[in-house]
Amino acid sequence: MKTINDFNFSGKKALVRVDFNVPQNEQLEVTDNTRIVAAKPTIDKIINDGGSVVLLTHLGRPKGQAVDKFSLKHILAEVAKVLGREVKFCPVTIGDEAQKMASELQPGEILLLENLRFNVGEEKGDKEFAESIAKLGDVYVNDAFGTAHRAHACTSTIAEFFPETKFFGLLMEKELKAIDKVLNSGERPVTAILGGSKVSTKITIIENILPVVDNLIIGGGMAFTFIKAQGGHIGNSLVEEDKMDLATEILAKAKAQNVKIYLPVDVIAADNFSNDANIKEVKSDEIPEGWMGLDVGEKTRKINNDVIMNSKTILWNGPLGVFEMSKFAEGTKALGDSIDEATKLGAFSLVGGGDSVAFVKQFGYADKVSYVSTGGGAMLESLEGKELPGVAAINK
């Protein structure tokens, strides 16, 4: 893996693709700077070597239009604050002004170019657009794991113009190593926890990880498709009727590969999809009509805990219940506690995927696991066994 640690940036201008697609409030102030903080070690290394940095990122989905609310000028102050350095801003991505500002950049200086997606060529992976950006620097660094699954101009095409001087940033290295640890080099037993609402969005992940895991805990709404496929009564719980045969196949494949699958044995059922609903704990395959399972029950939490405490490598993708409602967050919190405990005892734990990341941040588990992935879609595609365009471009 070619990383920036293999290169001295002294006197070099590095084009660094970062993922500063950060959430903002109505005043366009940054509300979560995690992604900016995550890129800091890479930028620091280049500057400390005596290089300069041209930052490339997108923000939102402006679809090739220069939309003010998606301008990077709104996040400039936060970027400078996190990096602890002055950051110059170029109001365009290509053209004379960008060329001039980049050429005048001195060692130790940082320039942030305007939103890449203000240009239609970015999302199209356009070669001309990539080449015009490539001319602004001597070295290309991809540190944007969150966009590595996109074949965009500044994620993959641009690497062609740097055959010898293209590298992974330190964040990309951490992300790829964390995924490799789960899929290839992790200490056994390996346990994967997959939650969320639909089996259909997790099929390829399940099929790809079955050969490398020892245990698979299935929770969230997707569990009910498996339970119903085995003849269980699930009341009004979420189900994908057209995926029941597939669920049966997955259970058979897991058995053939000696993977233990753990489905909820009991659930917190509600008579309404609401925090004000009446609730009761029932067996997961005996949910009364008119009721729906919205969280895992006590017995399931204990079983999950026993499995996790006996694991050395843990992958967590997706909540076990509707944690956005306090009445149905306890099962996922119990899971978080178990993973926290196992991690303290030396297990490696990786959390990824939008809802799980939102959960660990909201409930304070982010510092209690080994690694929280910054890329939702990119992590899922990696777990599906796909080579990401942004990774392939550096490895070529």
Active site residues: 35, 198, 354, 377
Tell me if 21 is assigned to a ligand binding site.
Answer: yes
Residue type, 389: P
Report which of 308, 278, 317 is spatially closest to residue 294, judged by C-alpha positions.
278
Q: Are 49 and 11 in contact (CB under 8 A)?
A: no
User: Is 354 one of the annotated binding-site residues?
Assistant: yes
Q: Tell me the three state secondary structure of residue 31.
A: coil
4, 169 Cβ separation under 8 angstroms: yes
117 labelled ligand-binding: yes
Is there a contact between 153 and 122 (Cβ–Cβ < 8 Å)? Answer: yes
**58 has binding-site annotation:** yes
| Max CA pair span of the chain | 71
The answer to whether 356 is a known ligand-binding residue is: yes
Q: Is 138 annotated as a binding residue?
A: no
197 is in an annotated binding site: no
72 is in an annotated binding site: no
108 annotated as a binding-site residue:
no
200 assigned ligand-binding residue = no
Contact between 18 and 55 (Cβ < 8 Å): yes
Q: What is the DSSP string of 309-372?
A: HT-SEEEEES-SS-TTSGGG-HHHHHHHHHHHHHHHTT-EEEE-SHHHHHHHHHTT-GGGSSEE
**Counts of helices then strands in the chain (DSSP H, E):** 14, 17
* CB under 8 A, 24+ apart: contacts of 238-247: 238/197, 238/292, 240/198, 240/199, 240/200, 243/198, 243/199, 243/200, 243/203, 246/199, 246/203, 247/199
Determine if residue 293 is labeled as part of a ligand binding site.
yes
Q: For residues 197, 198, 202 and 207, what is the CA-based torsion angle, rounded to 10 degrees?
A: 120
> Length of the chain in residues, anyone?
396
Which residues on adjacent β-strands are paired with residue 314? Answer: 191, 349
Residue 396 marked in a binding site: no
Instruction: Tell me: is residue 32 an annotated ligand-binding position.
Output: no
User: Is 297 assigned a ligand-binding role in the annotation?
Assistant: no
**Residue 61 annotated in ligand binding:** yes
Q: Which residues are annotated as a binding site for substrate?
A: 19-21, 35, 58-61, 117, 150
The binding site for (2R)-3-phosphoglycerate consists of 35, 117, 150
Binding-site residues, in ranges, read 19-21, 35, 58-61, 117, 150, 202, 293, 324, 353-356
